Structure 1
Amino acid sequence: MSSRPPSRARRDPRPDAYDIDGEVVAVRRSARRRRTVSARREAGRLVVMVPATLSAAEEHRFVEQLSRKMRDREHRGHAGDSALETRAAELSELYLGGRAVPTSVRWSTRQRRRWGSCTPATGEIRISEHARGLPDDVFDYLLLHELAHLLVEGHGPRFWAELAGYPDLERARGFLDGVAYAQDQGLTR
């Protein structure tokens, strides 16, 4: 008979949080997570979710990468979003009589197949990062298009009547249709 005490589960030597450039970044490990690593803000705090099977070095590397990427995205987004909101307000006033008042207008890195989107129920407008390089009149049309969705859902006659006052409407629509066609045909980089 052995007199050894019952074995205890070994404590994971990895920390529950890292200090990355002065910000405390929490780590949440999951036994179910196999390959993916992701990050999000929870109550203002950055949380990185990782597979429990990562080594301490891999985990630290991913936490550093994702926290810097999130900080860069947030910094870039705040500067750009305010200019986007200002332009949306100007276009709403100029072409829609100031009736379209979004709750937020922001850039989106998630939209790959759409130039923009609008959620009328919440008043949120998102514009694809890919739209940054569009000519000014085409970009204004894109933003105005999403603003009009705050007034009229769908693309029926009432919707197009809201946009009828925009002088470059047909040219901008044609431009975006041409870009979409080129992308579908693999003619762009």
Structure 2
Amino acid sequence: MGEVEIRRSRRRKRTVSAHREGDKTIVLVPAHLTAAQEAEAVRSLVQRLDRRDKRARPSDDELMARAAQLSRTWLGGSAEPLTVRWVSNQNARWGSCSSADRSIRLSDRLKGMPSYVVDYVLLHELAHLIEPNHSKRFWALVDQYPEATKAKGFLEGVSWTQR
């Protein structure tokens, strides 16, 4: 379950809520709750957050399956990575591709972003398996994706706010 911090409030009368701050779960509860009510609220809210995170954060295996689907749909199946995985050490890039070992790495900063954005970055890296640079041919491959412009704009906005 990870670390859970419970914050009681005398001003909070009925609602219980929870959110994540990094690896910590913060649960906000009214001060009048009994220990049993608090324990049930914490259990329920943490489970809900875990389910939401699982939907928003596909596993490496799910990324590999998604890469195969994107390759078939937009690249005629010609991009075939050997590995596709999340990494936590990419802070300047959204993804990277090594043509030599056919590996794709996506920054875990993408986790929780809309699926069309993750798909765009994944397709961008898949295209590098076909065209290793950012040539016109490369961009022609990537720009087949109908959400490409929207995803680029989303990522530019995120990057701008993180300056």
Query: By the TM > 0.5 criterion, same fold?
Result: yes
- Which of 108, 116, 134 is equivalent to 1:137? 116
Identity %: 49
Q: CA deviation at 1:164?
A: 2.5
Residue equivalent to 2:85: 106
Residue equivalent to 1:182: 161
Residue equivalent to 2:148: 169
1:109-147 C-alpha deviation (Å, 9 max, x unpaired):
111121110001110000111111111111110100000
| Cα distance in structure 2, aligned partners of 1:112 and 1:152 | 24
Highest Rg: 1 or 2?
1
Is the partner of 2:59 in helix, strand or coil?
helix
Is the partner of 1:133 in helix, strand or coil?
coil
* TM norm structure 1: 0.54
Residue equivalent to 1:20: none
- Trace 1:9-88 onto structure 2 (pairs within 5 A): 80-88=59-67
The structure in which a higher percent of residues are helix is 2
Residue equivalent to 1:54: none
Is the partner of 2:79 in helix, strand or coil?
coil
Which sections of structure 1, spanning at least 5 residues, go unmatched? 1-75, 185-189
Q: CA deviation at 1:93?
A: 0.4
1:29-76 C-alpha deviation (Å, 9 max, x unpaired):
xxxxxxxxxxxxxxxxxxxxxxxxxxxxxxxxxxxxxxxxxxxxxxx9
| Cα distance in structure 1, aligned partners of 2:135 and 2:162 | 26
Residue equivalent to 1:41: none
Residue equivalent to 1:90: 69
- Which of 98, 101, 106 is equivalent to 1:122? 101
| Cα distance in structure 2, aligned partners of 1:171 and 1:93 | 21
Runs of 4+ in 1 over 3 A off after TM superposition: none
| Cα distance in structure 1, aligned partners of 2:76 and 2:131 | 14
| Cα distance in structure 1, aligned partners of 2:117 and 2:108 | 14
* TM norm structure 2: 0.63
RMSD between aligned residues: 1.5
| Cα distance in structure 2, aligned partners of 1:151 and 1:122 | 13
- The number of aligned residues is 107
| Cα distance in structure 2, aligned partners of 1:128 and 1:164 | 21
The structure with higher relative contact order (CA 8 Å, sep 6+) is: 2
